């Protein structure tokens, strides 16, 4: 996914604000979920963040196009499923690297559930 560092993303230091990277992480994760997950699963479940681990390696500047890459980690643990991301600048250098733990919520009950195998399968392929 391509992201553009626009004026509203820039902080007083002249680079993309840390909070924007977190918003972009959510945008990328949701887009990945919607592009891969079975439509019935999208109707039945929603994911919430339970933990972020972020390494800010290099600044991104206004006007820069950032390429986001994402992939899932190993098999889920209970309700949690790990997602990894890298945000790469136009020069091919990583700007931000992140790992996020997401928990799956059953929309009908509003409660976390163990991640079903059939939900995980398309992401592990």
Q: How confident is the model at residue 105 (pLDDT cuts 50, 70, 90)?
A: very high
Pairing of strands 45-56, 80-88: unpaired
Q: DSSP for 89-113, please give it.
A: -TTS-EEEEEEEEEEEEETTTTEE-
- Tell me the C-alpha distance between 19 and 12, whole Å: 13
pLDDT of residue 125: 72
Domain that holds residue 22: 2-124
Per the structure, the count of domains in the chain is 1
Instruction: Tokens 């993309």: give the residue.
Output: 16
Is the pTM here over 0.85, yes or no? Answer: yes
Instruction: Tokens 């997602």: give the residue.
Output: 83
CATH number of the domain enclosing 42: 3.10.129.10
pLDDT of residue 101: 95
pLDDT for 103 beyond 90 = yes
Write the pLDDT tens digit of every residue in 2-32.
999 999 999 999 999 999 999 999 999 999 9
Write the pLDDT tens digit of every residue in 35-66.
999 999 999 999 999 999 999 999 999 999 99
């Amino acid at each position: 996914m391509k992201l553009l560092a626009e004026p509203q993303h820039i902080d007083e230091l002249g680079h993309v604000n840390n909070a924007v990277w977190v918003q972009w992480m959510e945008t990328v994760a949701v887009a990945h979920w919607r592009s891969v997950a079975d439509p019935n699963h999208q109707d039945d479940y929603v994911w919430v963040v339970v933990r972020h681990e972020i390494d800010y390696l290099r600044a991104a500047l206004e006007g820069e196009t950032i390429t986001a890459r994402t992939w899932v980690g190993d098999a889920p643990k209970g309700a949690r499923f790990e997602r990894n991301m890298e945000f790469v600048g136009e020069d091919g250098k990583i700007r931000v690297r992140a790992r996020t733990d997401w928990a799956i919520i059953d929309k009908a009950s509003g409660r976390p559930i163990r991640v079903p195998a059939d939900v995980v399968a398309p992401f592990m392929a």
